[in-house]
Amino acid sequence: MRPNLFGTYWHMTTQFSVSGIELELFRYPSRQESNLQAWDAADEHLIKHLIDTEQTCISTAVVNDGFGALTAGLLSINPSWPLTLETDAKTSQLGTSQNLTRNQLSQESITWVNSRDELPQGIELVLMKLPKNLNYFSHQLNRLSHVLPAGTQVLIGAKAKSINKSLLETIEKNLGPASASLTWKKTRVISCIADGKARALPKATTWSVPEFKLQITNLSNVFAANKLDIGARIMLDNMPKGDYKSIVDLGCGNGILGLHAKQVFPEAYIHFIDDSEMAVASARENWALNQLDNPALVGEQATFGWDDCLTNMSEGFRPDLVLCNPPFHQGEAITDHIAWQMFLDAFRRLKNGGILHVVGNRHLAYHVKLQRIFKNCTTVASNGKFVILQAQKISKKAQDPDVELTSDNETPHPQSALYGKPKA
């Protein structure tokens, strides 16, 4: 057990134990304000199924492994199991890697791909977790249909309550015929046999925000894929006042907040960051689509980072504004620990006097967190459901010993930071 920011204790199960496989697994980051577990019963079911059926070690793609339970399970059965790991989430990649190291499992037999990379040929088995977003799931099946020969087995682990006739039809339509196992620990394993026919990949969805003349295109796993989020809408209508030069769109999704920020602050450099690679790709696409580079400045005035919050930003980078519409779930789990991490990272990285501008559902009470971290919080706007809050970094060090901070060196050129330099 370990203390959280309020001095109470989280109790988190970390011992994975199924069919003789014993692992210690943590979510990513391992120190987080939640008591969520790093795997679920569907992971256990898939590993149990492989052991019960005496699955031999063949080239296997593992798709949507949350924090590496499936990968570590396979490598525990055979340390050189040839694996291709596909995930859209940076936190999944980092968590898997961390858990393999923790369990002394080598990563040498692993090929890592994101949800847009080309899948390798030669995959003989697929282990997959059903994602929450079914459009994304169909997209993933379409991708598999391009490389799987007819007869390849695809095992999909899911909660029994998520499995119905229409899901099995979706799988059949996008990859091949499917049937579900008996229920174990309220989960089932769907077994699909690829039919060897390649399906067309889905087109990105598009919508616009006419009053700001913004065109938005979204890949299948991007938040607000079909329309503007209502939280984002109130942010667009209430951008902060001031003169900002280096702005982070933290958890950018399709980039809508950062794109509009560039319209309001044409001198600024915008840094788009998201855990979802498809989100980062969509933000990049939308930057180009809306032609937001200011010709009075040199080069591209945006950077794009696939990252867990601000983890991998270069130490010296000091933005003067962070815009944030935080997530309140991770996969299936409802949680505010990512919001916590985003606020803490923003506090650490903002230059002195810099502003964190946040939108949230009123009932999430983000003001309590902001007050705790920044020692100040102002309500900028609100409607029945949402509230926009602002916190200013006004001290070099937080007063609280449990809020860890890095040094506070300010940088004069925010655009020279982080994820590759802007194009000249």
Ligand X SMILES: C[S@@+](CC[C@H](N)C(=O)[O-])C[C@H]1O[C@@H](n2cnc3c(N)ncnc32)[C@H](O)[C@@H]1O
Q: Which residues bind ligand X (CB under 6 A)?
A: 91, 223-224, 229, 232, 251-253, 256-257, 273-276, 279, 308-309, 325, 327, 338
> What's the min distance (Å) between Cβ of 253 and ligand X?
3
**Number of helices (H), then strands (E), in the chain:** 10, 22
> What's the min distance (Å) between Cβ of 385 and ligand X?
14
Rg, the chain, Cα only: 22
- Closest to ligand X by CB, 64 vs 187, is 64
- Closest to ligand X by CB, 37 vs 325, is 325
Angle of helix 90-102 versus helix 69-77 axis, rounded to 10: 40
> What's the min distance (Å) between Cβ of 235 and ligand X?
7
Written as six digits, the tokens of 47 are: 């590993």
- Closest to ligand X by CB, 43 vs 275, is 275
> What's the min distance (Å) between Cβ of 419 and ligand X?
13
Distance separating alpha carbons of residues 130 and 141, to the nearest angstrom = 11
Beta bridge pairs of residue 17: 22
Written as six digits, the tokens of 201 are: 């990949």
- Closest to ligand X by CB, 184 vs 328, is 328
> What's the min distance (Å) between Cβ of 38 and ligand X?
15
- Closest to ligand X by CB, 49 vs 357, is 357
Query: 355-361 and 386-392: which strand pairing?
Result: antiparallel
Indicate the SS3 state at residue 10: strand
> What's the min distance (Å) between Cβ of 228 and ligand X?
7
Cβ atoms of 383 and 349 within 8 Å: the answer is no
- Closest to ligand X by CB, 130 vs 256, is 256
> What's the min distance (Å) between Cβ of 251 and ligand X?
3
- Closest to ligand X by CB, 127 vs 224, is 224
Q: What residue type is 63 in one-letter code? A: V
Residues 6+ apart with CB under 8 A from 164: none
Beta bridge pairs of residue 401: none
Chain-centroid distance of CA 145 in Å reads 24
- Closest to ligand X by CB, 210 vs 295, is 210
* Of the candidates 63, 106, 105, the residue with the CA atom closest to the CA atom of residue 88: 63
Cβ atoms of 116 and 165 within 8 Å: the answer is no
Burial of 222 per CB tally in 10 Å (0-12, 13-18, 19+): buried
> What's the min distance (Å) between Cβ of 227 and ligand X?
10
* Of the candidates 221, 285, 294, the residue with the CA atom closest to the CA atom of residue 255: 285
Written as six digits, the tokens of 214 are: 């913004």
- Closest to ligand X by CB, 232 vs 417, is 232
> What's the min distance (Å) between Cβ of 125 and ligand X?
29
